[in-house]
Amino acid sequence: MFSGWIFRKAVDRARLLPQSQRLELAARLLVPRTDPPEPLTAVTPLSWQETADGIEKAARLLDDAALSLRPVAGLYLDVSDLTASVEQTAHEVREASTLLTEVYGDGEHLVDQALVPRFMPDPDQLRLARQAGERAALVAALARRSVPGDGEGVWSATWRADGTVEARWPGWLVRGWAALPEAVPHLLLPFQEYGRPPARVELEAEAPEPGWPAGGVPELERAERRAAFYDQPGRLADVIDQITRLQGAWPKDEIAERVRQAAAELHQRAPMCPHMRFRVDDPAWAMADSAGWVRCEAIVEMGDPVWGQFQRAGTDRGPVWAPTAAQELLAQAPDTLAEFLLHHLGQKPSVRLRAIPGPAGPIYTLGGDGIHRTHLFRILGLPWIFARVSADPLPREVDAITMVARTDPADLKPTAARWQRLLERGLVTGRLGERYSNAVLTLDAAPAPWLLAAPRVAAAYHRAYERIYPGSLAPLGIPSQAVENEEAWRRWLDEPSPGP
């Protein structure tokens, strides 16, 4: 593609020459040479670094060419397709440079060297070798992980060669993507039922193809979200019952004040957890999208740090939103509530939550749209909310800068020591290392992922989880006094770990 583009450019340039020079050029091309060719000289092969640098320079030239094309657009020529073609070529050339670095570089990237040809491999061959290396590493990582599946019920799941996943459980339809069929049970773990052991997964899988599956996460269609909304009628009925009770208990002229009081009480009883970051594996190896009724009490973080207080510029999205929305909801007739809720939860931009697995069941944090609506449901004490739920499995590795530095930079330095104590206590399993002075933990198991966060964040999530699932952390070996506050968690971590 690149050489053809150069040839076309040369032809276009030749057309601009005067006729005498075009004739001279044609004569030189057509008349055979009679003088002997110059003898060939030995050429020193370039190193892979020099090759990668040369390719990168070519990519920069293409970037410049694309930028040069933009100003010439006008009435006489549409150059959008040509510009897009040059930009795509630049992307492919730069990707080739990246592949060279990953395959022949310093050993940080996983490569199946048996798939690398000894002489002049093309980019597709290098890409396959990289993907095969990642695939082999993922197979080994999943073999070190176990997923309990002794709960009641069965997930019925399929995995296709392009990586797409579809799994069904009463009340849940999960669509997702996984690099390997063995990853599917790990992907479904955050969707386990509350307080029950994870269900068994019956998996029908196609034969995997070489490399890394190219598929993505297929989103649920509108009709599927509507079906999921009505698939658990008991939970919908619980929500409608609570709304009708509030309609009878809260006079219309007191709704705004009742909402403010309820928000303040909620903040005292169940304060919002801080945002927690996870390192996303590169490449990502599993992800899921679903929709269903989520337990409101299990939602612990929704962006704005105080329930009912929205940090927004517009007055209609600020402090007045929750009282106004509550008045509209409580004004609905009982026989219209189901469709009203479907429209506002499932057919507008849906409420989006992110599921985080825990030892007794999932908790949920902000996943996208729906901050205001989720705040309202929590403030009104509604038992369930219908939402789209995304989930990522426990990453293969986490690093201190991602987990700690962006939220609690002062706690970055002691992170490696804290992770080492978690390993010694058996709370997590894996291997601790370092990359560019950054602590890196390769994970095999972590029943509560927030264990790895900064103490301030971990303590907040501990308290929230104990409130939602009382006594669920004790079987892990974490005493109740250790999760009372941040200082208690720090002290307990600093204590010598018990002997074998």
* 190 and 287 share one domain: no
* 166 and 291 share one domain: no
Backbone dihedral region for residue 471 (phi beyond 0: left; psi -120 to 50: alpha; all else: beta): left
Residue 30 covered by a domain: no
* 342 and 459 share one domain: no
* 433 and 480 share one domain: yes
Strand 199-205 and strand 151-159: pairing?
A: parallel
Number of domains in the chain: 4
Residue 110 covered by a domain: yes
Q: Please tell me whether the peptide bond between 498 and the residue prior to it is cis, using omega within 30 degrees of 0.
A: no
Residue 213 covered by a domain: no
Query: Phi then psi for 245, rounded to 5 degrees?
Result: -65, -40
Question: Which residue segment(s) compose the domain that 120 sits in?
Answer: 49-71+96-143
- Which three-class secondary structure state does DSSP give residue 55? helix
Spatial separation of the C-alpha atoms in residues 9 and 82, rounded to whole Å: 12
* 187 and 260 share one domain: no
Residue 44 covered by a domain: no
Whole-prediction pTM value? 0.77
Q: Identify which of 93, 104, 95, 68 has the alpha carbon closest to the alpha carbon of residue 83.
A: 68
pLDDT tens, position by position, for the chain (500 residues)?
Answer: 444 444 455 545 555 555 555 545 444 544 555 555 445 444 455 676 777 777 778 778 777 777 777 776 665 667 778 788 888 887 887 877 777 777 777 566 677 777 777 777 777 777 788 877 888 888 888 888 877 666 667 888 999 988 889 988 877 888 888 888 888 888 888 887 655 666 778 888 888 877 777 767 777 888 888 888 998 899 999 999 999 999 999 999 999 999 999 999 999 999 999 988 766 666 678 888 888 899 999 999 988 888 888 876 555 567 788 899 999 999 999 999 999 999 998 877 889 999 988 888 899 998 888 889 999 999 999 999 999 998 878 888 888 888 887 777 777 788 888 999 999 988 999 999 888 888 889 888 888 889 998 889 999 999 999 999 998 888 888 888 888 889 999 898 887 665 55
